[in-house]
Each structure stands twice: as structure tokens, then as C-alpha cells.
Amino acid sequence: MSVIRTEKLVKTYVTGTTEVHALRGVDLNVEPGEFVAIMGTSGSGKSTLMNLLGCLDTATSGSYEIDGVSVEGLDRNQLADLRNQKIGFVFQGFNLLPRTSALENVELPMLYDRRGRKRDTRALAAAALERVGLGDRLEHQPSELSGGQQQRVAIARALVTEPALILADEPTGNLDTHTSIEVMALFQELNEQGITVILVTHEPDIAAYAKRIVEVRDGRIRRDGPVRNRRAASADLLVAEEEVA
Amino acid sequence: MKTKTLVKLATQSIQKNKMRAALTMLGIIIGVAAVLVMVGVGYGARSRIRQQINSLGTNMIVITPGATQQGGVSQGAQAFPNLSLADVEKIRGESQLVTAISPVIVSRTVVIGGSGNWRTQINGVDVDYQTIRDWPTSSGDFFSEDDVRANRRVAVLGNTVAQNLFPGEDPVGAEIQIRSAIFSVVGVLAPKGQTASGSDSDDVVLMPHTTASQTLSGRSFLPQILASTANENDIPAAQEEIATLLREAHGADDFTVRNQSDLASAAESSTRVMTLLLAAIASISLLVGGIGIMNIMLVSVTERTREIGIRMAIGARGSDVLTQFLVESVVMGVLGGLIGLAVGFTGAKILGHFTGWETVISPLMMLVAVGFSGAVGVFFGYYPARKAAALNPIQALRYE
């Protein structure tokens, strides 16, 4: 079963009398364990695609199935539940709740889980933070953490619900090069462990850490293929450290 | 989300903006406190009036002339001199339920006593008057039936009169002069305090009605007859009986028979209206407080648009966001209500202390006050909360 399967996905925005065709028919299939980078310039439609894939918005036409669940005709509440159960979001601006500890930030998605499972949400949140290497920062608030650390908290928050995929929107956009590579190393590590990752970026350097690149232009997929010279972030980190030394 | 989590979330968010929350709650605090003080004072006034009316005498029936409907026109009380001693005797002789009855002949005049003179009310009454008014003597005795029969010039002084005419001494056995007649004081009544209308019920001199009509009024009609029953439950039946007897004697409904509870309910209903009015004015401030909550919640929703977007992205439903903001405004309302309760309670106590009124704040009223401020929170928090819940997650996430 595919994690993501779209067919002729179309999104048209209507403002007044003008129609903007953001997506003009996208067919995309993502299997479990893939690491896909969606690339494109601004205005290419990649943000729209990411909103649709993230169940934040619904398509004008076409079909979309996430983890075997068809999104067609779902209402706001059902979309919210899908986001909660199937998708882990990582944003460019981290989007953590201010004045709220790392632990509580990571705990948050579990509090919105309506499946009524009895779980120790605290312990699960702590374990997720441990997994991203922030086991010693549980009680820190976002303002007390560096950008890289904040993004790790956000990744822990995305991981904690064990989603079908992690959807990262320009996750390195607000980070310096070194921290960016660190975050990509984390994504690669998680992908090694079997987690499906979709990365939206406009930077070829960052996309090179993925396994497959999907290029979007003018609302259509222009190129879809494996990464030829795939880079290993952990190796790049070692190189960078040697350069500093 | 669990209720516990929601309340925790709301209190956290209030704590993050202490000053703002405090100012917002101030509106509710003032509103609740004002309502409580007003209602407390109103209840105090009512219970005071009830006390005073009860102090007039238990099981008392008041018969006055006139005040009947004649051809649709209500005649004023005492318009007709048609109650007489014969009526008193008839009721005394024929009524099954009336156990005590006394005419009351009222006049105001100057009484001259040991240390000067004192203008006061003279009531010519029968021996039963003491039973009807339930009024013991603090010194000496009430006059006797014999005194009444023999038109003796004896008087029983009210406490105020005794203190003014004979300060610091026991007037029993002393003599007072009323008009040109000399009376000997046989007793002093125990103090009774104010009447319902605020006059001093101890400012009175009692004497046999026979003596009073002879020496003071010279008139044969009675302005008032008082009666009482052995049991409070007999009062309505006794009233009916008296009315039947008087109708028989007069051939017309030219009299009024009332009891104490009629008086009490009349007085109480007027204070109830007053209390309602005061509470209504005070609750306007509660309304203003509610608008304050709405205002701040609207600001808060705008400020936290991004937070709402994050919550929605990770799976919060609209109803989750709605509940979160609603709980926040309810917590503010209830918290303000509780503080207002404390302030109002203290305020009512202080007011009661200075006015000497007994202010009453019942547990039910406290519950209503806090419950109502919670309801204000729901009512005025709903619109901002709904606004938050209706946000589009994509736009909310992009909001700077």
C-alpha cells in the first residue's frame, strides 16, 4: 500500500473573476520508506501540493489517498484527525508553541488524538526527544533553545504519533549550513529506520540528501527520478569538522 | 482533550498575561461584588422589616373601619365612624377562634411627669392588648380588668416615655398628668424597638379604654380593634368569622380585617422591587465586564493566530480550539466571580456594620453569582472562540 497516491490532482484558486491554476494534474506515488524531495521555485505549485498532501487543504478535482485513506469529501474534522494520525509536520519556522516546554510541545499532538488510547503521553514525548538527541532538554522552552534544537523538537513532535509520513516544509530554511546538515543527518537517520519522509525545498544541496527528487513547475511534475549523487549528511558533517580543525 | 488538560491550558495562558487577565477580570469582579452587595442589603432590609412586623405581636388581626368598595369606589380607611365597643363585645362573646380582643383609642397629647413633659401617643386599650401585642412589663404590672371596668386613672408607660419622664428611676407608683387628669403609673413596658414604618413603638402610654374615652377623646367610635387567636393557623378562619359577625351587626361591609402577614407581604413586596431594581442596575456592570472579556478574547485570538494554526496542523479540530478559548474565558469569568464574591461579601459585611443592617448573603446567592459569571464567560467568550475555530489552518500558520 502506498503512503501517498494522487491521481490528476488539480487545485484552482478563484479570486473574483480570475482563476489561478496552482496545480494542473499531479500524479504522485510514494511508497513506504521513501525519502522524497519536492523541488520547485516559488509559484511552481509546490506549496499548494504540500498543503494538499498535508491534508491542510482539499483539491479542486482529482483523487488523493494517504496510507490507504481517501481524502475526497472529508470535512474539516476528519481532515484534522487524518493530520493527527497520519502526518508529522516539520515547518520552516519551527512552529513550536512559545513559553511551553519542549516536552509539552512534543506531547501536544497526542492530546488531540481522539482514538481514546490510554498512553503515558509524557513518557512517549520524552522518548521522542531522546530519539532526536534532546533527552537533556526536556524542560527547556523554545526561546532557550538554538534554531537547530528547536527544529529537533519539531521533528520529535512529528515523530511522536508514529505517522505514515513526515512532511517537512523547508525545514532548513531558517538554519545555517552546518545546522542544516545536522538536521538532514537526522532525517536520513530516521529514514534509515523506515520512516517515510517528504521534504519540500528549493535548495538542490538539501534535496541531494533525499533518495528521490520530484520537480514541480507550473503546477505539473516536470521531473521525477532517483537522486544521482546522493549525499550522506553524517559524512558531510565529518568533512566540515575536519575543515574547521 | 481532557477537561483537566483544557483547564490547565487555560490557566497557563492566563498566567502568561497576568496584568491583562487581572484587568479583564476586574469588570466581572466589580459586577459580581456590586450585585452581591445590593442584593445582600435588599435581603437585609426585608428580613429587618419582617422582624419588626413580627415584633408588633403574634397572630394579630387588625380591624379598621371603612376601606370598602362602594359602587366601585374604594373608601378610605377610617372614613366612617362605624366600629364601636358593641362590636368588640359581640366578637368577644360570639367568636369561637378569637382568644383576645381589644379596642384601641388613639390620641396624641402631652404627658407631664417627674422631670418635665413629653408629647406622646396615648392608647386606650383593654387588658387583652398585652396578650395581643405579646408585650411584657419590665417593671410593675399591666392594669387589670377591674381598672377597666371602674374607669380608673392608671397608666402603663412605654420604655421611651418612662426614660424621658423619669430618667434613672422606676416610675411605678409615681403620678403623671395627662390634660387635667392625674394618673398613677402601674407599670412600665419592656422595650420593643422600632415599628415597621420606623417610628418608636416604645413612645406610648397605655391606659384603660374606658378611661381614655372619658378623659381624652369623648368619642364613642373606635379607630381600630385588635384581636388575636391562640394559633397562627386559625388566623384566616378567625378573620372570616370576624367579618361575618361584623357584617351581621352592621348590615354592610364597612370595615377591613387584616392580619400581620398581609402587612408583612405588602412591605416585603416593596423592598423586593427595590432589591430587584438595585440588582438590575448592578448587573449592568456585570454585562460591561462580560464585554471586557469578549474584547480581550478577540485580541487574544488575533495574537495567537499562529498558535491556532500550529494546533490545527497537528490535528486539533475546530471544536478543540473552540473549547480551549471558551474554557479560557469561562475560567476568567469564574475566577473573577470568585474574587467578586469575596469582595462583595466583605463589602456587604462592612456596609452592614456601618448601617447596622443585617446584610444577608445566602449560599444559594453565592452559587448563583459564581455560576452567572461563568455563564457570562461562556456567552461573551463564544464569539471569539468560534472565530478562532473557524480559522483556516494554512492562513493561520502563515500569520505573522
pLDDT level of residue B48 (50, 70, 90 thresholds): confident
Q: What percent of chain B has pLDDT over 70?
A: 91
Closest-CA residue of chain B to A87 = B314
Closest CA to B65 of B86, B79, B46: B79
Residues of A within an 8 Å Cβ radius of B = 51, 54, 56-57, 76-77, 80-81, 83-85, 89, 91, 95-100, 108-109, 111-114, 157, 161
Coil vs helix vs strand at B74: strand
ipTM of the shown complex: 0.93
- For residues B155-180, give the mean pLDDT: 89
Query: How many A-B residue pairs are in contact by the CB < 8 A criterion?
Result: 61
**B219 reaches A (C-beta below 8 A):** no
The span from the CA of A235 to the CA of A201, in Å, is 21
CB B276 within 8 A of CB B268: no
The span from the CA of B177 to the CA of B369, in Å, is 59
Q: A87 CA to chain B: closest CA distance, Å?
A: 8
CB A80 within 8 A of CB B317: yes
pLDDT level of residue B392 (50, 70, 90 thresholds): very high
The span from the CA of B56 to the CA of B196, in Å, is 9
Q: B326 CA to chain A: closest CA distance, Å?
A: 17
pLDDT of A169 reads 93
Centroid of chain to Cα A88: 6
Least CB–CB distance from A83: residue in B12, B307, B313: B313
A112–B315 CB contact, under 8 Å: yes
Which residues of chain A form beta strands (DSSP E)?
4-15, 18-30, 35-39, 61-66, 69-70, 87-90, 165-169, 196-201, 212-217, 220-226
- For residues B288-297, give the mean pLDDT: 91
Q: Work out the mean pLDDT of chain B and round it to a whole number.
A: 85
Q: Give pLDDT tens digits for A10-58.
A: 999 998 889 999 999 999 999 999 999 999 988 899 989 999 999 999 9
pLDDT of B219 reads 66
**B108 reaches A (C-beta below 8 A):** no
Q: Give pLDDT tens digits for A106-150.
A: 999 999 988 888 889 999 999 999 999 999 999 999 999 999 999
- For residues B293-319, give the mean pLDDT: 93
pLDDT level of residue A181 (50, 70, 90 thresholds): very high
pLDDT of A190 reads 94
Candidates A74, A90, A95: best to mutate against B (most CBs of B within 10 A) is A95
- For residues B140-155, give the mean pLDDT: 90
Residues of chain A positioned with their CB less than 8 A from the CB of B307: 97-98
Q: A208 CA to chain B: closest CA distance, Å?
A: 27
Quick check: pTM over 0.80?
no
Most confident of A76-90, B163-177, B253-267: A76-90
Residue B15 CB: number of other CB atoms within 10 A?
10
Q: What percent of chain A has pLDDT over 70?
A: 100
Residue B70 CB: number of other CB atoms within 10 A?
12
Coil vs helix vs strand at B21: helix
Residues of chain A positioned with their CB less than 8 A from the CB of B317: 76-77, 80-81, 112, 114
Residues of chain B positioned with their CB less than 8 A from the CB of A85: 315
The span from the CA of A220 to the CA of B19, in Å, is 52
Least CB–CB distance from B394: residue in A57, A113, A114: A57
- For residues B340-368, give the mean pLDDT: 84
How far is residue B5 from each of residues A124, A126, B307, B327, B371, measured CA to CA in Å? Answer: 17, 18, 17, 11, 21
B313–A95 CB contact, under 8 Å: yes
How far is residue A183 from each of residues A170, A186, B53, B293, measured CA to CA in Å? Answer: 11, 5, 85, 43
pLDDT of A130 reads 95
Candidates A53, A55, A76: best to mutate against B (most CBs of B within 10 A) is A76
**B398 reaches A (C-beta below 8 A):** no
Q: Give pLDDT tens digits for B233-291.
A: 788 888 888 888 888 888 777 788 888 777 667 777 887 888 888 888 888 888 888 99
pLDDT of B76 reads 53
Least CB–CB distance from B313: residue in A89, A111, A161: A89
314-333 in chain B: CB under 8 A from chain A? 314-320
A45: phi > 0 → left, psi -120 to 50 → alpha, else beta; which? Answer: left
Least CB–CB distance from B314: residue in A89, A99, A114: A89
pLDDT of B264 reads 67
Closest-CA residue of chain B to A158 = B314
For B191, the enclosing helix (H) or strand (E) is: none
Q: A241 CA to chain B: closest CA distance, Å?
A: 35
pLDDT of A134 reads 93
Residues of chain B positioned with their CB less than 8 A from the CB of A83: 312-315
More confident residue, B119 or B232: B119
pLDDT of B282 reads 81
Which residues of chain B form beta strands (DSSP E)?
60-65, 69-70, 73-74, 98-113, 116-125, 137-140, 154-157, 175-178, 181-189, 204-208, 224-229, 255-259
Q: Give pLDDT tens digits for B76-132.
A: 544 556 788 888 888 888 888 888 999 998 888 889 987 888 899 999 999 999 888
The span from the CA of A218 to the CA of A163, in Å, is 30
Phi, psi of A98, deg, nearest 5:
-65, 160
Order of strands across the sheet that contains A18-30: A18-30, A4-15, A61-66, A69-70
- For residues A200-207, give the mean pLDDT: 92
282-311 in chain B: CB under 8 A from chain A? 306-307, 309-311
pLDDT of B348 reads 86
Burial class for B119, CB neighbours closer than 10 Å (0-12, 13-18, 19+) = exposed
How far is residue B9 from each of residues A77, A110, B44, B327, measured CA to CA in Å? Answer: 21, 15, 41, 9
Of A86-90, A138-142, A225-229, B197-201, least confident by mean pLDDT is B197-201
pLDDT of A65 reads 94
pLDDT level of residue B336 (50, 70, 90 thresholds): very high
